[in-house]
Structure 1
Amino acid sequence: MTTKDLNAVELEIVRNRLTSVSEEVGTALIRTAYSPNIKDRRDCSAGIYAPDGQLISQAEHIPLHLGLMPTLIAAAIKQFGSEKLEPGDVLMTNNPYLGGAHLPDVCIISPVFAGDEQIALVATMAHHVDVGGMTPGSMATHSTEIFQEGIRLPPVRLFQRGELQRELLDVVVTNLRTADKTRGDLMAQVAANRLGERRLLELVEEWGTDGFERSCRALVEYGERRTRAAISALPDGTGEFTDILEHDGIGPAELRISATVTVSGDEVTIDLRDTSDQARGAVNCSFAVAQAAAAYVVKMLADPTLPSNAGLTAPITLLTRPGSLVHAEFPAPVAHGNTQTSQRLVDALLGAFEEFTEELVPAASSGSMSILTVGGVDPATGRYYSYVETYGGGQGAHPDQDGANAVHTHMTNTRNTPCEVIEREYPLRVEAYRIARGTGGQGRYRGGDGIERHITVSRGTASVVVGTSRATTQPWGLHGGEAGTSAQVNVCRGGEDLAQPAMTAFDLSAGEGVSIRTAGGGGYGSCQNTDESETRKAAR
């Protein structure tokens, strides 16, 4: 490939070949991971970046990870010092204040050198089943500072010139409950990155170093042109919307997420500065999480086929207030900023776009990733275990079709853990797993139904953390569509189902269980063909 400007055919070749490398890296991670959370649920993401952290290409994995990784990687490279990187180095970090998500999401970054010249970075992010902290699974809802959530890693070398830094790895895994799973998953990330390095060097051998760099630049420029054209097709205007997160992780609360969205020509400005201050509990999120939500919503509404690279975010200006719920500062806890707040932020952004667009925005989906962690010591083996899973819910109805049942929506894109895997890997028994029929909101197009799952501890005792949302509010409908049914959490003891708050922690003994029903999606349009007023059943 020459260094001349790329034509349309060459651009598509570059786009697809780099995307295929990202996808292969992600597939390798999934196939070699140790924990069901990665190998079955696929709670991981992969991408290719320029040496400064600019996003070049990424796999179709988890929107939250994919949207925040460029911020985290750029900040990590800057803090560590790109001039210090050598061939064979591998960095790792999980620091949310640098642009990470929460502590279980560990990012592994590998520089790619062609000779003495660094040409790219390959990076993977994966949710590890335990990184220490006050509860098994490292997802406490009731933490009040970051130190209670687990071990926090600055950008450090896990490998230096190809040599594993064993002392550092020993320090990390000594602080974890499931050291074997974490060690295996980290090595799977490293191996996947190395595969990505080989594939990129194969492209360099074919295209040359100059051709590779020019191709990456051309792809980002193409992404920006496509994004600006898609934004230009949206109506100009300004919309405002406020949604409420009803629990701060410690107790009931009314945490305001306020969004003002302005589309002007080929640019979008999103202002979140009127959002509530950062919370005392674990529902805060980093600035990078807010960036991820903003990029996701713009791509979703403008053109879902837009290339996922740095060009996508170039026309988007995001305004936040440091110290707020969506721009948390040290030492705010952040474990559930992903699972709860990012989803509600998407709802607020969609509500704002609905103010000045027509038949574009869907009704609200279930509004939570609905995470359940169960952990303890298995008496049969004497070893710690940690079951971690997020549950799908109802998708909001669209202007032209029903919402899907029992799916992950918006900022999450994981699969479920098969019941057989849960019962094989952990001292747990799945009593029920089904669609929660009738929980979607009615309308001309109805919202999708949520999910029900009931899990019983089969032996020993276990610590349980449940984090869901929309338990005291409902996912709103649009244009006369009804709201979805709220979520519900129960402890199952002595033949009784005892209702629990949306975000809670408790212990269970053998024979006791937990059940969760996730919220349904909102409906769209009145069931009658008469007046369809601009009603929106927002959470209050």
Structure 2
Amino acid sequence: AAANRKGIQTLARLADANGAQTVKNHMIALKEHAAQLLAKRLKVLEYGNYKAEESLDDGTLLKVCIHHSKQRFQFDFTGTKLSHEGNLNATPAIVNSVILYVLRLLVSDSIPMNEGLLQQVEVVLPRCLLNPPFSADPEHCPPVVGGNVETSQRLVDLLLKALRLAGCSQGTMNNVIFGNESVSYYETVCGGVGATNEHSGAHAIHSHMTNTAITDPEILEMRYPVRLHRFAIRKGSGGKGDYSGGDGIVREFEFLAPVSLSLLTQHRVEGPYGMLGGHPGQTGRQQWIKKDGRTQELDSICGVEISPGERLILETPGGGGYGNAKENT
């Protein structure tokens, strides 16, 4: 709400300074310019069907066919699983945001993100986990909290794979949530970026559908019952290739009070894919180090009760490499 109010106020000042019609004309021109740039880019993209499949860590299938012809540029998600039993269902708004983002990647010119990129695009979105039915009764609506943060990332994986634009990035936001009756904490954690045909992937940054900053260690330890023992690049976790994928990170917490810990992640089963011969990045993992020294591997999506003195070691995925990796092995 605060961001919306700020946007309204800024737009009103812009209209007061330049005139509402002038601002409107510039907005229309921006959208038309974006549409023209995308049309120019699509002219050099070979006509045909660009297909890809990706599976969530629990095996749930995501599927797309991008049909490119002189008449249309269509994203067809037919074949995606009907629904998700957990909270990884998405919505058409999430799907459109992902498509808009990927189209922006196709355009190399510097333009602001705007829906002009969607003017020539058709989306076929049947009933599936990306477009589930919603009841008037909230208790019977499909849960979507994970769809916004995790399925959105995996959809970017899917579309980039179909278009062969890049190796897969970490494909997750690595959501970490812990708390008790006194405190509550939530963060998303960076990882490796997939390589392209021009550059190796960046290490230890947020990518695609997330750009949040992480809490400074000093603030984290001052305000919450936790000690951060390690926050480092996970060296060698990016996939090799002519251009290598970026490395993920290692983040190790020690909890100083009883807390409930929840993790919502992906790419713990299969590593982020490499492109055109590039090697995949390493899968992420999360380990619970108990007070007696035993280690328990935690699932992609889980919740556990943590005792004082116990630790979480979070290792985020590396990005996939790009190009034949034989000379880099």
TM-score by length of 2: 0.91
Are the equivalent residues in 1 in contact too, given 2:87–2:147 (CA < 8 A)? yes
Say how many residue pairs are matched: 321
Encode CA deviations 1:234-261: one digit per residue, 9 max, x unaligned: 22221111111122xxxxxx11101101
How do 1:492-503 and structure 2 match up within 5 A? 492-494=289-291, 495-503=293-301
Gaps of 5+ in 1: 1-107, 109-188, 248-253, 355-360, 378-383, 531-540
Q: Would the aligned equivalents of 1:229 and 1:266 in 2 still touch at CA under 8 Å? A: no
- The structural deviation recorded for 1:267 is 4.3
Give yes or no for the alignment of 1:257 onto 2:257. Answer: no
Shift of residue 217, structure 1, vs aligned partner? 2.6
**Counterpart in 2 of 1:491?**
288
- Whether the aligned pair in 1 keeps the contact of 2:38 and 2:106 (CA below 8 Å) is no
Residue in structure 2 matched with residue 423 of structure 1 by the alignment: 221
1:243 and 2:54 are equivalent in the alignment: yes
Cα pair distance change 1:302/1:200, threshold 3 Å: closer
Contact 1:297 1:349 (C-alpha < 8 Å) held by counterparts: yes
Q: What amino acid is the match of 1:476?
A: Y
Q: Which amino acid in the other structure matches residue 272 of structure 2? A: P
Question: Which protein is bigger by CA-based radius of gyration?
Answer: 1
Superposition deviation, residue 221 in structure 1: 2.5
- Other-structure match for 2:138: none
1:345 and 1:489 mapped to 2: Cα distance?
Answer: 23
Aligned to 1:368: 172
Mapped to 2, the partners of 1:211 and 1:436 lie a distance apart of: 51
Q: CA shift at 1:348, angstroms?
A: 1.3
Query: What CA distance in whole angstroms lies between the structure 1 residues aligned with 2:327 and 2:230?
Result: 39
Secondary structure in 1 matching 2:66: strand
2:205 aligned to which of 407, 423, 429: 407
Q: Give identity over the alignment, percent.
A: 31
User: 2:255 corresponds to which residue?
Assistant: 457
Give the counterpart of 1:344 among 154, 159, 167: 154
1:357 is matched with none
After superposition, the C-alpha distances for 1:469-526 in whole angstroms (9 at most, x for unaligned) are: 1111111112222111111111111223211111110011211121211111111222
Instruction: Show the counterpart of 2:235.
Output: 437
Structure-2 separation of matches of 1:241 and 1:325: 17
Name the residue aligned to 1:313. 118
In 2: Cα distance, 1:515 partner to 1:367 partner: 19
2 CA distance for matches of 1:197 and 1:476? Answer: 41
C-alpha displacement at 1:266, in angstroms?
A: 7.5
**Aligned partners of 1:194 and 1:468: how far apart in 2?**
32
Residue 273 (structure 1) shift:
1.7
Deviations 1:71-119 (A, max 9, x none): xxxxxxxxxxxxxxxxxxxxxxxxxxxxxxxxxxxxx2xxxxxxxxxxx
Equivalent in the alignment of 2:315 = 517
Q: Which amino acid aligns with 1:475?
A: P
Using the alignment, how far apart are the partners of 2:217 and 2:146 within structure 1?
25
Summarize the alignment of residues 521-532 of structure 1 with structure 2, pairs less than 5 Å apart: 521-528=319-326
TM-fit CA distance, 1:304: 5.8
Question: Using a 3 Å threshold, how does the CA distance of structure 1 residues 208 and 480 change in structure 2: closer, same or farther?
Answer: closer
Q: Structure 2: where are the runs of 5+ without partners? A: 135-140
Determine which of 37, 40, 48 is the counterpart of 1:229: 40
Normalising by structure 1, report the TM-score.
Answer: 0.57
Candidates 248, 268, 283, aligned match of 1:471? 268
Deviations along 1:386-405, whole A, 9 cap, x unmatched? Answer: 11111111111111221111
Aligned partners of 1:231 and 1:267 also within 8 Å: no
Paired AA for residue 204 in structure 1: A
Indicate which of 76, 99, 119 corresponds to 1:294. 99
The partner residue of 1:388 within 174, 183, 186 is: 186
Q: Which aligned segments of 4 or more residues in structure 1 are displaced greater than 6 angstroms?
A: none
